[in-house]
Amino acid sequence: MARVYDYWLGGKDNFAADREAAEQAIAANPGILRDVRANRAFLARAVRYLAAERGIRQFLDIGTGIPTANNTHEVAQSVAPECRVVYVDNDPVVLVHARALLASDARGATAYIDADLRDTRKILDGAARTLDFSRPVAVTLLAILHLIRDEDDPHQIVATLMAAMPPGSYLVISHPASDIRPAAVAEMSRRMNARLGPTRGTLRDQATVTRFFDGLALVEPGVLQPQWWRPPAATSEAEVAVWCGVARKT
């Protein structure tokens, strides 16, 4: 999935099968290109907000994807060079490019963990070698939770991760929506799932995505489409098929 996402973003780190799957998805849902770019822009705004306005200096980025512009450590360290970032992904192509993710400012640190999101113990143990869990951490889960099936209980996975974080930590989520452009998005999902094998995507509606923030204090403006989450200027785009939000652990 990271390689398909790379293709949608205009990257070169993908194979013919990835490009074919990506084009099938575009044919069913042309808006996917706008969706992934809006999602990427949301990541940069959320990280900048947390570093600049909330003083967060530690980030656990799960579902990293192939490095592109405005990676988490680049955005965070542009605000505060001492920021520490741990990336997590389980795509071998992302692992090949991990060196780009480790190009940290000398005053901060970055690390990479090759792990599946469902293996929360491996993630937390590995992240503890770089992050101090006695201090607030921002956990980012951008366009990754839809790859966790309902039977694997993604809400419990998120709850487990946040239980390990101290008060003052943040959770950042974006998730493909089932209730925006529903016909096109459902057909895209069907085509992608036919090609992804065991890594099947599950679309979810706004209420289900909001449940990931249970027990946390949502940051205004709440759970909404990414282009409307604290944009630098007014936007009229209303059809990005993604839900996103940021919340604080009190």
Q: Convert the pLDDT of each residue in 20-33 to its tens digit.
A: 888 888 888 888 88
Q: What is the pLDDT of residue 198?
A: 65
Whether residue 120 contacts residue 139, with contact meaning beta carbons closer than 8 Å, is answered with: no
Q: Which domain holds residue 229?
A: 2-248
Going by pLDDT thresholds of 50, 70 and 90, the confidence category of residue 11 is confident
Kindly state the percentage of the chain with pLDDT values over 70: 96
Which segments within the chain are labelled E, that is strand?
A: 58-62, 84-89, 109-114, 138-142, 170-176, 217-218, 242-248
Is a pLDDT exceeding 90 seen at residue 99? Answer: no
Each residue of 126-160: pLDDT tens digit? 999 999 999 999 999 999 999 999 999 999 999 99
Each residue of 225-240: pLDDT tens digit? 999 999 887 666 668 9
Phi/psi for 55 (5° steps) reads 70, 20
Global model pTM greater than 0.85: yes
Which of these, 173, 146, 176, 144, lies nearest to 240 by C-alpha position? 176
Q: What is the pLDDT of residue 234?
A: 67
Alpha carbon distance 148, 193 (integer Å): 13
Task: Read off the CATH number of the domain in which 197 is found.
Answer: 3.40.50.150
Phi-psi region of 63 (alpha: psi -120 to 50; beta: other; left: phi over 0): left
> How many domains does one find in the chain?
1
Say how many residues make up the chain.
250
Q: What is the pLDDT of residue 205?
A: 97
